[in-house]
Amino acid sequence: MHRSRPLPILIALVALSIALTGCGLVRPAARLFANPTPTPRVVEKLVVASPTPPRGQAAPGASATSGGDIQSALLRAVYEKVNPAVVYIENLTKPTSTSQTSQALPESQGSGFVWDALGHIVTNDHVVRGSDALQVTFWDGVVLPAELVGSDPDSDLAVILVDPKLVKLVPVERGHVDDIAVGQRAIAIGNPFGLVGTMTEGIVSALGRSIPAITGFSIPMAIQTDASINPGNSGGPLLNDKGQVIGVNSQIRSATSTPANSGVGFAIPVNIVERVVPALISGGKYKHAYLGLSGRTYSPAWAEALGFSRDDRGAYVMDLISGGPSERTGLRTGTKDTKVVLAIAMDGPVYLKGGGDLVIGIDGKKVSTFDDILIYLESFKSPGDEIKLTVLRPSEGQKTVTVKLGERPSRLR
């Protein structure tokens, strides 16, 4: 895993549709526009039968009522189910003119997991980026060359391919985003520091984090976990207690210059993985929808300055990206000076601009935060699709603006 990147602090521009502010807590995509007060639900527990000891003997190291033995059996069952699907990936690079060997040398290492029986393996874009050759080691010691099928820097996902005739492939089972809840067990299997087949355990610490991609855009709906994730875990699976993949481990938050686990790791959620990976397999590329505007979640403290109600909620439009899809729609951006300070820059305060639209809905769904727009586009929309934004304008009331989505540029402008 490469050096952790800091999470955005100020206004993140929407690229996919927008880039977002900070790491706000938002809802999983499938429940994004549901009743804001969710009904408490019971998370199904996996019951794992412990091996039956010989008649008259207790299980080794535990009493018949030992809860620890049940937990250990569950973790063993997950490991035995998933470890055969997890691989060690070496990103090889050509030797330099000063090298004393003619062999390709490891540039970086990471993890991955078998996606299907055709030989496709999922990992992170940053694990395979810039490789001259790729080498995959399976759990049973089989080493195979791999080729890059496709990569998406915006979601930090990539697919590589091995010859399925040369190895026994064990594809993973995938979970569902609706079944992920804060507090549930989270299990990581990967190769931290090259230590192949390492399993760590923790919980889902938070949902809906926005983490930065190498392109400058945001990856929404990331899963935060305290399961130990270190350099080399990148690209490996984050699992629930049924051994189902719920995310792809991608980043860690570290307080030191040397990346190391501090109990804050992030995984790309399975619903994004299931949209991106099939596109990479079929065409080598994933096209993200692009709205082309920047903004921020509306604060009631801005009501007087902007002319909205304190009870209003939505995403305030601060800027329209030149040449972007939103620029030609009649959307309005903030242009008038206010006394509301948003941040302090090197050259002085940054003030909120009044006169912009407040987006309160998208395709008839309620928008409460700026993240809601990005999540909706990432989860359900593609370039070329049309969306309808419901906006509020001071003294004009509610308006509907139609936007034909573009394709996200390679870098944030």
* CB 91, CB 109: distance < 8 Å: yes
Q: What is the pLDDT of residue 137?
A: 97
pLDDT surpasses 60 at 401: yes
Q: Tell me which of 125, 152, 154, 156 is the catalytic residue.
A: 156
Fold entry, domain 67-95+104-286: Thrombin, subunit H (2.40.10)
The whole-angstrom separation of Cα 89 and Cα 131 is 11
Between 99-113, 218-232, 305-319, the lowest mean confidence (pLDDT) is in 99-113
**For the domain bounded by 289-407, which CATH number is listed?**
2.30.42.10
Q: What is the pTM of this model?
A: 0.79
Cβ-contact 188, 200 below 8 angstroms: yes
At residue 243 the predicted structure's pLDDT band, cuts being 50, 70 and 90, is very high
Catalytic residue among 155, 234, 250, 326: 234
Residue 134 contacts residue 144 (beta carbons within 8 Å)? no
Reported in sequence order, the residue ranges of 19-137 that DSSP labels E, i.e. its strands, are 86-93, 105-114, 120-123, 133-137
Distance CA 371, CA 222 (A): 12
Please provide the DSSP assignment of 270-290 as one string: HHHHHHHHHHHHHHS--PPEE
Q: Catalytic site residue 363?
A: no
Percent of the chain having pLDDT more than 90? 69
Do domains 67-95+104-286 and 289-407 share one topology? The answer is: no
Would you state the pLDDT for residue 259?
65
Cα separation of 87 and 83, whole Å? 8
Tell which wins on pLDDT, 396 or 269: 269
Identity of the amino acid at 185: R
Instruction: Mark whether 309 is an active-site residue.
Output: no
Residue of 4, 120, 126, 218 marked catalytic: 126
Task: Give the range among 48-52, 279-283, 298-302 with minimum mean pLDDT.
Answer: 48-52
Task: Report which DSSP code applies to 355.
Answer: S
pLDDT of 7 above 70: no
In whole numbers, what is the pLDDT of the chain averaged over residues?
A: 83
- Check if the beta carbon of residue 139 is closer than 8 Å to that of residue 262: no
Which tokens in the block code for residue 196?
A: 């192949």
Per-domain boundaries in the chain: 67-95+104-286, 289-407
Q: Which of 12-16, 212-216, 316-320, 383-387 has the lowest mean pLDDT?
A: 12-16
Residue 312 among the catalytic residues: no
| 343: exposed, middle or buried (Cβ count in 10 Å: 0-12, 13-18, 19+) | exposed
Report yes or no: 151 and 128 within 8 Å, Cβ to Cβ: yes
Q: What's the pLDDT at 107?
A: 55
How far is residue 269's CA from residue 337's CA, in Å, rounded to a whole number? 40
Condensed to tens digits (0 to 9), the pLDDT of residues 37-66 reads 333 333 333 333 333 344 344 444 444 445
Residue 256 has a pLDDT of: 64
Neighbours of 47 (CB within 10 A): 8
Tell me the pairing of strands 244-252 and 173-174: parallel
- Choose between 175 and 31: higher pLDDT: 175
Is pLDDT larger for residue 190 or for residue 411?
190
pLDDT category of residue 328 using cuts at 50, 70 and 90:
confident
Highest mean pLDDT among 8-12, 92-96, 170-174: 170-174
Q: Is the pLDDT of residue 99 over 50?
A: no
Q: Kindly give, in sequence order, each residue whose CB lies less than 8 Å from that of residue 72, ignoring residues fewer than 6 positions away.
A: 62
Burial of 387 (0-12, 13-18, 19+ CB in 10 A): buried
pLDDT of residue 66: 55
At 262, the pLDDT band (50, 70, 90 cuts) reads confident
Q: pLDDT, tens digit, for every residue of 141-193?
A: 999 999 999 999 999 999 999 999 999 999 999 999 999 999 999 999 999 99
Stated as kind and residue range, the H or E segment containing 401 is: strand 397-404
